[in-house]
Each structure stands twice: as C-alpha cells, then as structure tokens.
Amino acid sequence: MGRILSGIQPTGLLHLGNIKGAVENWARLQHEYETFFCVVDWHALTTTYADKLDLRAESERMATELLAVGIDPKVSCLFVQSDVPEHTELHLTFSMLTTIARLERVPTFKEKVEQLTHKEIQTYGFFGYPVLQAADILIYMATHVPVGEDQLPHIELTREIARKFNLHFGDVFPEPEPLLAKTTRLLGLDNRKMSKSYGNTIDLCEDEETTIKKVDTMITDPARVRRNDPGHPEICNVFSYHKGFNTPERPGEIEAACRSAEIGCRDCKRELAEKINAYLRPYRQRRQELIADPDRVRRILAEGAEKARATAGETMRVVKKAMKMIR
C-alpha cells in the first residue's frame, strides 16, 4: 500500500471548491492508501504572520470541518503541522540543499507576490515555502501526493530534493508521484478562481439562507439580457454547477430549456441553491455535532500528532544517520 501526505492551511473557511476539489478526494483515498492529513499552520504564517491570528483555534476549526466532510480518524492520521517539530527540522536540512535559483523558478512565488500586493510576503519563509512543503511530504516517506495541476511544480521540486539528498547521502527518500484530483474545479461566484481572498466562496459554515443569497449573485450568460432571450449555457457558471450538483439527467434538460428561454436565470439559480444546500446539509450537520464536542476534536488531533511523530521521528533518525550526524 502506498502512503499519502496532504495538507491544508487553517486560514479561511472550508468552501465548496475545497470540498469538491480536495477533501472529498482525500476521504476516498484514505481507503486506498495509508494517509496522513495535516493542518499546516506553519505554512499559514508565510502570508499571515502580521495578522495576529489565533492559529490554534483556526487549526482546530479546520480539523473540525475536515472531519465533518469525511476524514476518518480511525483510518487516517489527522494532526496539526506544528505539533510535529520534525517537519521544521527536515525543512532546515533540505534548505541546505536547495539553491536560490531553483526556488526562483517556482511559478507560485511570483504569482502570489503579484496577487497579494497588500501584504509583505517577500520573506525568507514564503520564498522557502516549497522546501517546507517537500519536508512535509518526505518526513512521512510519502509515495503519492494528491494535488491540483497548479501544485505540480511543487511536487517536481520535492522529487528533485529527494534525488539530491539521495545522491549525496544514500538512498533514503522515495520520489513521490502526484495524484491529480478527479474532480472539476469550481469557479467562484464572480467567475474567478474560488478563493476566500476574493470573497467569492460558498462556505461549509454558512446557513442555507446565506447560500441561497450567494447563488443569486452568481454571474450567468452576459449575453442574455432579457428573460425571453435564448441563453448560452456553455458559457454560464451556474450551468457548470448544475453538472456537478444536480441529477445526471437534469443538466441536459436545463440546457435545452435555457437555449429556448423556457427557464430564466432566477429559476435556474433557485434550483441550483436547493441542490447545493442538499449536498452540504449532512456535512453541516456533522460539523455542528463536532463543534458541540470540541474535546473530541482535540483528542483526535493529539492522537494524530503522536502517531505522526512516531513516523517522523524515525525518518529523522534515518536522515541523521545517513548524514553521519549520529551513530
């Protein structure tokens, strides 16, 4: 059986894009691989160090939502990154092997600097983010990493770091393979990437009325000005959601009705909101149950950290022995 490591930052709320794009995939993979899922609070600090967040509270909240969506602590190891200090120890080790020129070629650095102009993120910590990510993965000797296409450059860097370490110190680390998510990426309410920083998300924590109001703001076919104008569902974000949340046969019916103007955008949105709420309802109910028992979540994280440290500690022992730092 292969082994998986994947992580999620505790900043921002778990939204529909996270759930469909990552967490449901994790919940499926946990029955096919040995799985380690990590709330990466050190990573959060790379862009939020000045925000004075209560990172422990945020980490517990994120863990609560992961559990609500299907991460099973009886099957997976769920923990908070900073509870396993071996992550930072291996990060320091790998930073000795990774050149500045190589990090400058990681596309996400320039992209984030351009996007987050209101924050000072041109820091050593953010620049070295992919090296810490490599340490997160390799401290558990992960063989596979579930990612979206935008994260593939980070996985390739992880593989390069593993090869370089193995070249200098002996065959220690596997070269993990990416597992591309088998889901369609959802755009946000405004047709941009769904992101909390854009304010265009549908969140797990919100009530059903809020979801209805948010869906009502979604951008539809810009060429359809009047109710009796024929629509073009192929360019409508609302229609793309119907393909992900409605019954298998319903999108075809909606497409025909839209093109003939038998259905209006308001009706189409109302039906979509009902489907999204029905989809999220069991997750929201489990979330409320977990919120009512915070000690349960804390126990799960403590047990996960203990298991993770056992694996990570053994990895660091092997690493230090290979580097002749211990006998």
First to last CA, the chain: 31
**C-alpha atoms less than 13 angstroms from C-alpha of 261 in its C-beta half-sphere:** 8
Q: Which residues pair with 80 in a beta bridge?
A: 39
Angle at 120 between CA 119 and CA 125, to 5 degrees: 120
Respond yes or no: is residue 196 known to be catalytic.
Answer: yes
Respond yes or no: is residue 182 known to be catalytic.
Answer: no
Exactly one of 20, 74, 110, 196 is catalytic; name it.
196
CB contact at 8 A, 276 and 238: no
Exactly one of 20, 74, 110, 112 is catalytic; name it.
112
CB contact at 8 A, 182 and 25: yes
**Residue 76, CA distances (Å) to 3, 30, 70, 152 in order:** 11, 6, 10, 24
**Residue 174, CA distances (Å) to 3, 16, 109, 131 in order:** 11, 33, 26, 16
| Rounded Cα distance, 191 and 189, in Å | 6
Query: Closest by alpha carbon to 138, among 302, 311, 305, 1?
Result: 311
Exactly one of 193, 275, 307, 321 is catalytic; name it.
193
Query: Closest by alpha carbon to 157, among 112, 115, 104?
Result: 104
Longest dimension (CA), the chain: 79
Query: Closest by alpha carbon to 265, among 312, 214, 218?
Result: 218
Strand bridging mode 77-80 / 34-39:
parallel
Respond yes or no: is residue 213 known to be catalytic.
Answer: no
Q: Mind telling me the catalytic residues? A: 112, 193, 196
